[in-house]
Amino acid sequence: MSALRLLPLFAILLPTGCGKNAPPPLAPVKGQVWYQGQPLTGGMVVFTPDIQRGGSGPQAWAKIGSDGAFVLMTETRTGATPGWHRITIATESSPSLPPRFQDPEHSQQFFEVKADRPNVCELRLD
């Protein structure tokens, strides 16, 4: 088979990455968690894509710093997939949060990550 006949095949395979799944594009997300008017010190925040609002992709997560600040990561990369996410928050120290904040179905915390721009998510839990 001549190389010229294979050229259309390469044109089809190249855009798909030759079968490898490219990681999803991510947008940077940082923020701060507040509980009862004070920064939440420590714990974890998890962004789960909200399928009901068209979200998709892997979860993003971050450790919450001593000042309540966080920067989301997806696997080993900084950021989260664009789209709507349900947010859960868990702590290991006082003050402990009501259990509903650990359940994406009941936390009532949502955020839309927008593509190609920095995103700032201020979570005020009261």
b or e along 20-56 (b: 16 or more beta carbons within 10 Å of the residue's beta carbon)?
A: eeeebebbebebbbebeeeebbebbbbbbbbeeeebe
Q: What confidence tens digit (pLDDT) does each residue in 8-36 have?
A: 333 333 444 444 677 889 999 999 999 99
Fold for the domain defined by 24-125: Immunoglobulin-like (2.60.40)
For the whole model, what pTM was predicted?
0.78
Quick one: pLDDT at residue 113? 97
**Structural domain spans, the chain:** 24-125
DSSP letter string, 17-79: TTTPPPPPP-B-EEEEEEETTEE--S-EEEEEE-GGGT--S--EEEE--TTSEEE-EETTEES
